[in-house]
A and B are shown apart, each in its own frame.
Chain A
């Protein structure tokens, strides 16, 4: 039984709509993209630019539908980018310019 509470959408323990969902137990290899996002986060952490707590907060801020639609590491890069902008490490103008170049 699940109470009607103001649960944050990432707070998934026991959530009814997932209780009948099968688990894909197959191994899925990480892509280069996945590993690079993971590595980037780790380096930002070890340099004290961004903590894992900030990463989580940024992921939790992703709107619900997007949160479930995005793959795991796409949530990460969205949160990393959000944090870097919010913390002023990069500016939105710089990011737009960099996106135009890639």
Chain B
């Protein structure tokens, strides 16, 4: 996987693994399906979704992604942002 460069526009997958069984997800609910912009790639880290169940965990690229805060909530002050660490498998090109 080539990965995302800083500045890339991405969308957080609108997926809800919570509906399919016991899971441990580090992508907050409020970002699912939201569009953002990659700020930085941090490097690879073992997938916490598997670590939480003592399963072998694949390395996943971790990104810092910026979101327009009022767009997420339909309220708030223009220009305010959210900056959240998201693992690569939750991101797709926007």
Q: Direct A–B touching in the complex (beta carbon < 8 Å)?
A: yes
Nearest A-chain residue to B82, judged by Cβ: A13
A5, B18: Cα distance in complex, Å: 10
Total interface residues on B, CB under 8 Å, equals 19
**Secondary structure dominating the interface of B:** loop
Are the CB atoms of B74 and A54 closer together than 8 Å?
no
Which of B3-11, B24-32, B58-66, B86-94 contacts its partner? B24-32
- A-B contacts, 22 listed (Cβ < 8 Å): A1-B74, A5-B16, A6-B16, A6-B19, A7-B18, A7-B29, A11-B29, A13-B28, A13-B29, A13-B30, A14-B72, A51-B51, A51-B54, A54-B54, A56-B24, A56-B48, A56-B52, A57-B24, A57-B52, A57-B53, A60-B24, A61-B22
